[in-house]
Amino acid sequence: MLHEIDLSHVDLNLLVLFEAVMSERHVGRAGARLHLSPSAVSHGLARLRRVLHDPLFLKYPKGVVPTDRAAELAAPIAEILQRVRDVISGAEGFDARRSNRRFTIGAPDAVSMVVMPPLLAALAKAAPQIDVSVRTSMPQTALADLDTRQADVVVQPLVDVPPRFVAMKLYEEEFGIALRAGHPLGTRPTLAQYCAASHVLVSPTGDPLGRVDLELKKLGRTRRVAATVPSFLLALALVAETDLVAAVPRQVAGYARRLDVVMADPPAPLAPLARSSINVIATRVALGDAGVAWLLRTIAEVMAASTPPKRSARRSPSR
């Protein structure tokens, strides 16, 4: 065939190396992940650059950043490697009871707080040697984490996903207003009272504007975000010790009670923001791996068995 590429001189391990550096964004950490020295990683990258005719990764003070070409190649290379893994895993078979694999789940901390306790309890009985790593993952980056195999599955409030992904709904999440017991705001604040309070916003990037602020802008209102924090647990800790209030998922109410934090209903105009569907998502390619397919199915089954019934409408007069 004219211009047929000779693959006999291409080392598949170079693609594995590419995947590790793309995931870690650091030569040293990629080497540790692959049990290679930093010099071996650098040598492999040099070979791969010659094959692909692109620098691929550029140095910067805290590691490396991918070039545009590397970013374009990330998903196709991940798919190629997944298909190879599928062939190998298919030959070996997957038995959860005997497997000692480690899976990575991407999720925001509030979702991890809900999903991980029942999942780990189930794994202890059905798959005692399987290990799980949780990677903080946000909706803006979750699908990219799957494409680059930084996560085997993600658990996110995403509904519309491209056809190359499979999503299974786990539960409905409602947001409420967390405040310390005895807070003058009370448990059914008006919109004016809510806007007059000082707020703590959960924002992994430190951005002081969230969905609530966008909705308030439509209503001609603003609020004061006195602090931003990267996690809901930290937000609850601050709420317990101050007059700050925070919008948090009601599923974390159990943790809130331990801190003497109570939940209030959001003001009626903000009610549309108070509900979202939480889904477990994986790429269709990854589901060719029997282990990943088992993990997706197990998370769905565990959450179906552990999710509490929906709240009575009488407890939420604003909806």
| Residues 270, 158 share a domain | yes
Q: Give percent above pLDDT 90 in the chain.
A: 56
Residue 2 lies in a domain: no
pLDDT level of residue 240 (50, 70, 90 thresholds)? very high
Rounded to an integer, what distance in angstroms lies between the CA atom of residue 166 and that of residue 229? 31
Question: Are residues 32 and 165 part of one domain?
Answer: no
Domain membership of residue 246 as a residue range: 94-319
Question: What total of structural domains would you count in the chain?
Answer: 2
Are residues 215 and 183 located together in one domain of the fold?
Answer: yes
> Residue 21 domain-assigned?
yes
- Same domain as 140, residue 73: no
Q: Other C-beta atoms within 10 Å of 113: how many? A: 18
Domain identity same for 50 and 111: no
Give the other-Cβ count within 10 Å of 77's Cβ: 21
Confidence of residue 139 (pLDDT cuts 50, 70, 90): confident
Tell whether 63 and 190 lie within a shared domain: no
Q: Do 211 and 175 share a structural domain?
A: yes
**Mean per-residue pLDDT over the chain, rounded:** 87
From 92, 108, 123, give the residue that closes a domain. Answer: 92
Q: Residue 287 sits in a domain of what CATH number?
A: 3.40.190.290
Tell whether 59 and 82 lie within a shared domain. Answer: yes
* Boundary of a domain, candidates 61, 92, 123: 92
The answer to whether residue 1 sits within a structural domain is: no
Tell me: do 160 and 24 sit in the same domain: no
pLDDT of residue 164: 92
CATH of the domain at 49: 1.10.10.10
Residues 108 and 81 both lie in one domain: no
pLDDT reading at 319 higher than 60: no
Domain boundary among 75, 92, 109: 92
pLDDT tens digits for range 31-42: 998 999 999 999
Specify whether 109 is located in the same domain as 153.
yes
Q: Which of 9-18, 99-108, 111-120, 168-177 has the lowest mean pLDDT?
A: 9-18
255 and 115 both lie in a single domain: yes
pLDDT digits (tens, 9 = 90+) for 56-78: 999 988 899 999 999 999 999 98
158 within some domain: yes
